[in-house]
Chain A
Amino acid sequence: MSDYLRNWLTLVVFGGVAVLLVGTFLGLGSLLRPTRQTPQKAVAYESGVDPQGDMWSQSNIRYYVFALMFVLFDVEAVFIFPWATRLEVYDVFGLVEMAIFIFILALGLFYAWRKGLLRWI
């Protein structure tokens, strides 16, 4: 067996142990505990409040704006964090690059704002 595959063996062993342990404990539990079902026990747990309606409900389509905005800022953050930790290495070049990047993203946000996308209708 090559070294490369041997490294994966650790993963296989750990995975096997995990499955075995969890399976044993859950299996033992189900064998030992008494089972008395009541309708109350079958409802979804919602922090003590009585659950309302179906689980499968439609969310308002207007929330898609938040999804889009989230992606915009999320991607921005994904690029800014690694850049910020190594700012001194990238020097002025990195600063200019990041300024251009943020400027273009801000342009998109500005466009969305001016098109009235951020107003709740």
Chain B
Amino acid sequence: MIAAVASPDVSWWALIPLVTFAAAGFLLLTMASLVRRLPAVLAPAWTVAAGVAVLVYLVPMWSKVGSDGAGSFLAGAVGVDASSVFVTGILAVAVIAAALIAHDYLPREDLPGVEFYVLLLLSAAGGIVMASANDLIVLFLGLEVLSIAAYVLAAMHLRRIESQEAALKYFLLGAFSSAFLLYGIALVYGATGSTNMAGISAYLADNVLIDDAMLLAGLALLLVGLGFKVAVVPFHAWTPDVYQGAPTPVVAWMAAGVKAAGFAAMMRVFVLTFGTHVSDWQPAFQMIAAATVLVGAVVAVVQTDVKRMLAYSSIVHAGFILVGLQAATDRGNSSVLAYLAVYALLTVGSFAVVTVVGGTGDSAHGLDSYRGLGQRRPLLAGAFTVLLLGQAGIPFTGGFVVKLGVLAAAVNAGAYWLAGVAMLAAAVAAFVYLRVLVAMYLEETPTGSEAPAAIPVGALVVVVVSSAAILLVGLIPGPLLELARDAVPVLVAG
């Protein structure tokens, strides 16, 4: 008699957000194949409903994790802690926002079909896997599910050659960086004998490696692989081209969702798994953070395409998040999570504005298109003002609160010079945002520009809600900061 392999217990309550997104994607695909003509509103409404369902479910999940503590499931493959619940929330918000923006964008660009929404949902499912991975292989799996969907999403605009170019660049560099990540995992496995994050951290806590060259090489490769996904200097070169070429709702998802999942993975891998080797990776993180904020801010200044400019500004934000992450303290982690939440709101709002201003063809992204926007579309310009001021980190916006958080975490951890560099970069980057504001309010509308059309409902909701939320967080930062403080990431052995 052959002994049966013990099947791992499946704790459904911990997997419901993941299963919801994946099942919603598959069901939508099936519906689209069964029914010839789905009502146009069905797919976005379905996606938003899935996102809202996940958000609603996260409330009891949050309190369950809060009372029972974090846990690991599926034979130690998946670990759910408060931080993964928090990041799942950010991903759900990003999915809802991207679907709302796309609802008008896709018909306007004459791109019928539900594939956008299906890929968005599957990509979000991959992001959740990344944010709650307890094993490096599972992390890689989540990263691939997230990225492959994102590659296809970037190519969504069939008739724009820039979209195809963006997808190809993103795919080639993404596949390359995945190989780096996988190689890093292999070396770490060779050095520690485990791919389980809790197993690795337990091994490193109990053993002192006499020769840790293999482990350090693995760490470096992991940093390259994950650094590419979150676009930090020197792995940022793809970002401007991809953000400029990809359809704008897709960019909103890439900037908000993919980055949140990437940083959540970085936090789990470096701060938690390799917390014992913090003195090895911290200097590298500090250098990369400093380079990222400086290069992003300086290069953003010379951009004339707003989408490209926002791409460089997203690089600056990635640098700021790294400033908080390198502290490798609870304070640093909570500042990173708060930053990710506010950054997601800022980017989806900004790219919603860019989608509307971009007009049919998704091409009017030059600074010229924004001249005189204050007179043509006061509401849109007003909301964009709030979002840009938030990105610049002006007081009384959410951007200020979270920037202060990461800087305080860096100072608290003793990295004074890094905090100084980041503040300098923030001052440089402020010029970029102010230039758009000047174009919107102080410059005249170029003659011959078309009459303003009505702002589509979906984008309007995203713009208004995100800018209101940014103001709200800026005025009453307490609740968000408390949530982020309670969202401590922990590793639990399975």
Contacts and interface: CB of A to CB of B under 8 A. Distances in A.
Contacts of A46: none
Contact of B29 (A88, A89, A94, A111): A111
Contact of A107 (B2, B7, B26): B26
B30 A110 contact: yes
B453 interface: no
A89 B33 contact: no
Nearest to B7: A93
Contacts of A107: 26, 29-30
Interface of B is mostly: helix
A23 B3 CA distance: 53
Given A104-B26, A107-B26, A90 B33 contact: no
Contact of B5 (A90, A104, A110, A111): A90
A111 B4 CA distance: 36
A51 to B, nearest CB: 35
Interface residues of A, number: 13
Interface in A45-90: 88-90
B33 A91 contact: no
A114 interface: yes
A89 B7 CA distance: 10
Contact of B4 (A89, A104, A114, A115): A89
Given A114-B33, A115-B33, A89 B2 contact: yes
Contacts of A104: 26
A20 to B, nearest CB: 34
Contacts of B2: 88-89
Nearest to A97: B7
Nearest to B6: A93
A114 B34 contact: yes
Interface string A27-48: 0000000000000000000000
Contacts of A114: 32-34
Interface of B: 2-5, 7, 26, 29-30, 32-34
Interface of A: 88-91, 93-94, 104, 107, 110-111, 113-115
